[in-house]
Structure 1
Amino acid sequence: MSELLPGVEAGTVDARIRIHHLTSGPADGEPVVLVHGNLSTGRFFEHLMSPASDRFRFLAPDMRGFGRTEPAPIDATRGLGDWADDLVSYLDRLGIERPHLVGWSTAGAAIALVARQRPVASLLFLDPVSPHGYGGTHPDGRPCFDDYAGSGAGVANQQFVAKLREGDRSGDEALSPRNVMTGTYWSPDFRLPQEREDLLLDEILLSQIGDDGYPGDSTTSTNWPGAAPGTRGLLNALSPKYCDWSWLPELDPKPPVLWTHGTRDVVVADGSMLELGTLGQAGIVPGWPGADTFPPQPMVSQIRDVLERYEQAGGRARTEMFPESGHGPHVDAAERWLQIATEFWASA
């Protein structure tokens, strides 16, 4: 593992599985748990943790299937339940009772599930997966097909998966892990210093590739585009067949919520070019059955709807948009994002 930034330390916690994590700040500080998303690790938060805060104790675990955490299978039929249970076990072993939770992308669903199990100080959704999962739903969350065809591991780009499996570090092809990272993780106008880009690429290449990790297994379908989610692996866990946090307004008690969104996000968007409804409508994936059957998924609108209902149910929900940011405003607008997040944690 390459040298960490000043004030950041690495360690492991023997929880439900052995979890590798980064920490910074005082041992008795208010705990802030930074949970990464798909194809990333805790190091994608490291720059926010250095120099260490005087008030907050930052913790950034590598989640199941990624980084240096003990390899373990993902049961997709539980949605992000494995991640949530791992986090609860991790918090228990560390003696953390009411953490601030940050969930980037995939982890948005996981931190919601944690809040369903135990009290938390706050929830910060950082460009989270839609409350109705990823791909194959109508605006109200209804599945396009009964078998949820068009979502899950079966629609993953196999060329990209092969590049991950090979450990490709080049930038020669559009679907190399490096180019996918720089083209989708943050604004395309933003570029990290080369050394940092190389480091984070190495973190992505630690991912567990296969049926139990990324992307997962799949099944065939008579519905368009011919594949439906299987029962193992991360992309199936994100399918609307299993992933759901639209129940958030029912939480009791209701922690304060902050949603931060990069409006140039190409991953979580109304009409994401990574989602089959949009790709079919654009003619990139042939045979699209039309918008009445399989519309582009309005992910941002679905998030907004759930948070509006959260407020109507008595919760406090704040939204901050980052107009020049992509899927990771904590990276491409780090200073502003951390300032807003710190103010939110302090007021929670």
Structure 2
Amino acid sequence: MSTILAGIDQRFVETDRLRASVLSHGGQGDGTGIPIVLVHGNVSSSLFFQPLMLALPRPTIAIDLRGFGDSETLPVDASRGLRDFSDDVAGVLDALGLQRVHVVGWSMGGGVVLQLLLDRPDLVRSVTLQAPVPPHGFGTRLDGSLCTPDAAGTGGLGANPDFVARLAAGDTTADEPTSPRNVFRSSYVAPGFDDGREDLWVESMLSTRTGDDNYPGDGVASESWPGFAAGGRGILNTMSAAHLDLTGIVDVADKPAILWVRGAHDAIVGDASFFDFNTLGKHGIVPGWPGEEAAPPQPMIAQSRAVLEQYAANGGAYREVVFDDAGHSPHLEDPERFAEELLAHVGASERP
């Protein structure tokens, strides 16, 4: 199976920050129109966007973040939250001479594009969030307050070490629940999804570089259950509430319209996600859980909705769309419908 699908082009963009791999598609029409820029999530790459790119009748580009896909492997400073990634995206757009584009962020990439909106609003015309990281970061209650002062239970030490080892080894099997292939089946898509390209999606996952400076990152001991907290290096720490807070979007001066897309069967981002240690503790999977008051499962969907409601109350606008048959990846599970929703969104934002 070819990594790059027919109709998709790959190039490398040199910036003052990194050498980035960029996929592009000119569209099925005349290729005119304001570009759509796609930003992938954790343990993935731009390869995941190819069916959507082919379904869109306007120029699209998809950027591999540092340490993913074919982009340069560079350390991630988690003390900056997601800014290493958003600054890299900004650098690519600057190098390409692009401004006021439509940005789409998936999962961790949703947080990246919100950070871009905070730091470089000149680059953003509209925002589409697909299954985004909660805007308060991981380790918080509904109101965004920290469950513990150090956001215990978040960061690099929360990754399953066998999954990390299998990523590093390039495991393509389905022999164990922790293999990337089985994690894709159980967590990235709704049960039963099969588009005939699973090898390609696993290949994309396996492009993730592992280690303390990349995935999953380092960690520190904590006096609070479950005994660890976020470190300052690597990917999972960037999304800990110890380092991340994207709620400032409610106060940006120029508020582009936001489309929020999520799948009803999302196993990763949800109000009771089993990727949340507090949920695992509540269900007895991790022993010693101190209870609901001290360590409540994070209401990720409710948190995003509350922040977007405040964004709208402060003069912005957002629309929430739920794909009833999709999991964490609606753009992959139903690219035609995703393209339809996205085109309606970006078209509305371009009207005077």
* 8 Å Cα contact 2:3/2:200 also seen in 1: no
Compared CA separation, residues 51 and 142, structure 1 to 2 (3 A): closer
Compared CA separation, residues 52 and 138, structure 1 to 2 (3 A): closer
Matched, 1:7 2:10: no
| 1:225-264 mapped onto 2 (5 Å cutoff) | 225-264=226-265
The whole-number CA distance in structure 2 between the counterparts of 1:266 and 1:198 is 21
Partner of 2:79: 77
The whole-number CA distance in structure 1 between the counterparts of 2:34 and 2:141 is 40
TM, length-normalised to structure 1: 0.96
Helix, strand or coil for the counterpart of 2:266?
A: coil
* 8 Å Cα contact 1:22/1:61 also seen in 2: yes
Compared CA separation, residues 347 and 86, structure 1 to 2 (3 A): same
Pick aligned residue for 2:154 from 151, 154, 161: 151
Q: CA deviation at 1:6?
A: 2.7
Q: CA deviation at 1:40?
A: 0.5
- CA-to-partner distance for each residue in 1:296-320, whole Å, 9 max, x for gaps? 0000000000010011001011111
Helix, strand or coil for the counterpart of 1:305?
A: helix
Q: Decide which moves more: 102-111 or 240-249.
A: 240-249
The whole-number CA distance in structure 2 between the counterparts of 1:88 and 1:51 is 25
The whole-number CA distance in structure 2 between the counterparts of 1:138 and 1:113 is 21
The whole-number CA distance in structure 2 between the counterparts of 1:5 and 1:161 is 28
Helix, strand or coil for the counterpart of 2:62?
A: strand
Read off the aligned partner of 2:4 and give its amino acid letter.
L
Helix, strand or coil for the counterpart of 1:319?
A: strand
Read off the aligned partner of 1:100 and give its amino acid letter.
H
Q: CA RMSD in A?
A: 1.3
Compared CA separation, residues 6 and 166, structure 1 to 2 (3 A): closer
Q: CA deviation at 1:27?
A: 6.3
Partner of 1:181: 184
Partner of 1:295: 296
The whole-number CA distance in structure 2 between the counterparts of 1:72 and 1:200 is 23
Partner of 2:267: 266
Q: CA deviation at 1:28?
A: 4.9
- Where do 5+ consecutive residues of structure 1 fail to align? none
Q: Decide which moves more: 336-345 or 18-27.
A: 18-27
| 1:274-293 mapped onto 2 (5 Å cutoff) | 274-293=275-294
Helix, strand or coil for the counterpart of 2:60?
A: strand
Partner of 2:115: 113
The whole-number CA distance in structure 2 between the counterparts of 1:171 and 1:267 is 20
Read off the aligned partner of 1:29 and give its amino acid letter.
G
The whole-number CA distance in structure 2 between the counterparts of 1:147 and 1:133 is 12
Read off the aligned partner of 1:175 and give its amino acid letter.
T
The whole-number CA distance in structure 2 between the counterparts of 1:174 and 1:325 is 21
* 8 Å Cα contact 2:3/2:47 also seen in 1: no
* 8 Å Cα contact 1:7/1:51 also seen in 2: no
- Where do 5+ consecutive residues of structure 2 fail to align? none
TM, length-normalised to structure 2: 0.95
Compared CA separation, residues 327 and 3, structure 1 to 2 (3 A): closer
- CA-to-partner distance for each residue in 1:201-238, whole Å, 9 max, x for gaps? 11211111000100001111111101111000000001
Compared CA separation, residues 105 and 51, structure 1 to 2 (3 A): closer
Matched, 1:42 2:43: no
The whole-number CA distance in structure 2 between the counterparts of 1:327 and 1:51 is 19
Compared CA separation, residues 48 and 313, structure 1 to 2 (3 A): same
The whole-number CA distance in structure 1 between the counterparts of 2:121 and 2:14 is 20
Matched, 1:122 2:131: no
Read off the aligned partner of 2:6 and give its amino acid letter.
P
Partner of 1:32: 36
- CA-to-partner distance for each residue in 1:94-144, whole Å, 9 max, x for gaps? 00011100000001111011112232110000110001112x211111111
Matched, 1:168 2:171: yes
The whole-number CA distance in structure 1 between the counterparts of 2:19 and 2:101 is 20
Read off the aligned partner of 1:270 and give its amino acid letter.
D
Read off the aligned partner of 2:97 and give its amino acid letter.
G
